[in-house]
Amino acid sequence: MDLETLKSLAVKAETKIVLLVLDGLGDLPREPGGPTPLEAARTPNMDALAVRGVTGLADPVGPGITPGSGPGHLGLFGYDPLKYRIGRGVIEALGIDLELTPTDVAARGNFCTMDEAGRVTDRRAGRLSTERCIELSRLLDTIRLEGVEVIVRPVKEHRFVVLWRGNGLSDQMTESDPQRLDEAPLKVEAKTPEAERTARLVNAFIEKARLLLREKHPANMILLRGFAKHPNLPTFRELYQLQAAAVAVYPMYRGLGKLAGMQALVTGPSVREEFDVLRQHWRKYDFFYVHVKGTDTAGEDGNFDGKVAVIEEVDRELTTLLGLRPDVLVITGDHSTPASFRAHSWHPVPVLLSSRWCRPDDVQEFSERGCLRGGLGRLKGKEILPLALAHAERLTKFGA
């Protein structure tokens, strides 16, 4: 279903929808025949929802495709991640409340360590402190280029954002990050003739940064990637007449929500604080996207038990959310991050949808194995939002 058609079916209603994203939720058993973290976790609240609701398994992008956080979330927000592509630079910029104009080009930057031969020896400059990142970003922000404004802002640890602001800029450029050690940073190249001037400006910026950072070991160089312009997605308000809010601790996820037109709400770092923020803003919005990062972090760290603990924490805190009686509650992930794999993976993600209008299946618990037999069947990530809207009685009939 294309977004134009979906938009034509959207109607107003008094119902409230919560999309709870446990980042990297899907997983694998630790040992053959054993449970996954979701199966090992004690989750009485989620299991009760699975009994009354309907479950399934979602492919965020497609079978075999491992999504980044951007495509994984775009799918959950109902956008086709193969059609709408968002560069890392844009996500990082929005996540630190750096507003992009339609002509800006953004990039994600890393401070890195370079040896005397000009080869990268640490792509994260020893995981720089955020304080030092702020200081060095200020230094880079002093760089001036001919005919274009440059804005440099710190993100966290070794990460920063660069914005080139001016007319006639293009994001069609190769990256400077070699993505491996013991190689020199790459020259940024234009992929199209229109990008040649921008590539010259970016390379000039990198050279000025190198000179400014020469004595700043271990942060004596930068790497740039994810050149991108604002994708100008149609927003949840335009598409579905939804007032939507994002509750997320990490900048990138707030940024993803903002791309869809969500209001990013300020929250403390714990799951409890996130749900408290939800409760405080309950009356003001129709749709809440709540992002929990801990599941993904534990998965990336190979910490099976840590992932179990985060899932159990979410399940305990869920009582706050359930007390608000959302008309539709979806619990899922943006991708799988199996603890044994220590990285994002292609495995489909468990989905649980709870509403008074669910057709029940025989699934008794929220788990990978249960979802395999669930009434939602096997679906695409982008199909979850239309289902949530339907169960919230926010889509009218298609055709006579």
Q: One symbol per residue from 235 to 274: x for binding a copy of itself (CB under 8 A), - otherwise; what is it?
A: ----------------------------------------
Restricted to residues 41-80, the positions that interact with a copy of itself (CB under 8 A) are 52, 57, 61-71
**How crowded is the C-beta side of 387, counted as CA atoms within 13 Å?**
27
Tokens of 265: 């709400």
Alpha-carbon distance of 93 to 70, in angstroms, equals 13
Given candidates 101, 182, 360, 364, which one binds a copy of itself under the rule CB under 8 A?
Answer: 360
Given candidates 7, 42, 44, 82, which one binds a copy of itself under the rule CB under 8 A?
Answer: 82
- Contact flag: residue 357 with a copy of itself (CB under 8 A): yes
> Would you say 118 or 343 has its CB closer to a copy of itself?
343
Cis bond before residue 360 (omega within 30° of 0): no
CA-atom Rg of the chain in angstroms: 22
- Contact flag: residue 361 with a copy of itself (CB under 8 A): yes
Q: Residues near 53 by Cβ (< 8 Å), separated by ≥ 6?
A: 329, 352, 353, 354, 355, 358, 360
Q: One symbol per residue from 218 to 237: x for binding a copy of itself (CB under 8 A), - otherwise; what is it?
A: --------x-----------
> Would you say 132 or 347 has its CB closer to a copy of itself?
347
Residues in contact with a copy of itself, counted by CB under 8 A, come to a total of: 67
Q: Name the residue among 328, 380, 375, 318 with its Cα closest to residue 349.
A: 380
Q: State the DSSP H helix or E strand holding residue 288, giving kind and residue range, or none if neither.
A: strand 287-292
- Contact flag: residue 396 with a copy of itself (CB under 8 A): yes
Q: Parallel, antiparallel, or unpaired: how do β-strands 159-165 and 105-114 relate?
A: antiparallel
Alpha-carbon distance of 261 to 246, in angstroms, equals 9
Q: Please give the residue ranges that form the binding site for a copy of itself (CB under 8 A).
A: 1-2, 5, 9, 26, 28-29, 32-33, 36, 52, 57, 61-71, 81-82, 85-88, 91, 108, 226, 338, 341, 344-348, 357, 359-362, 368-369, 372-373, 375-379, 383, 385-391, 395-400
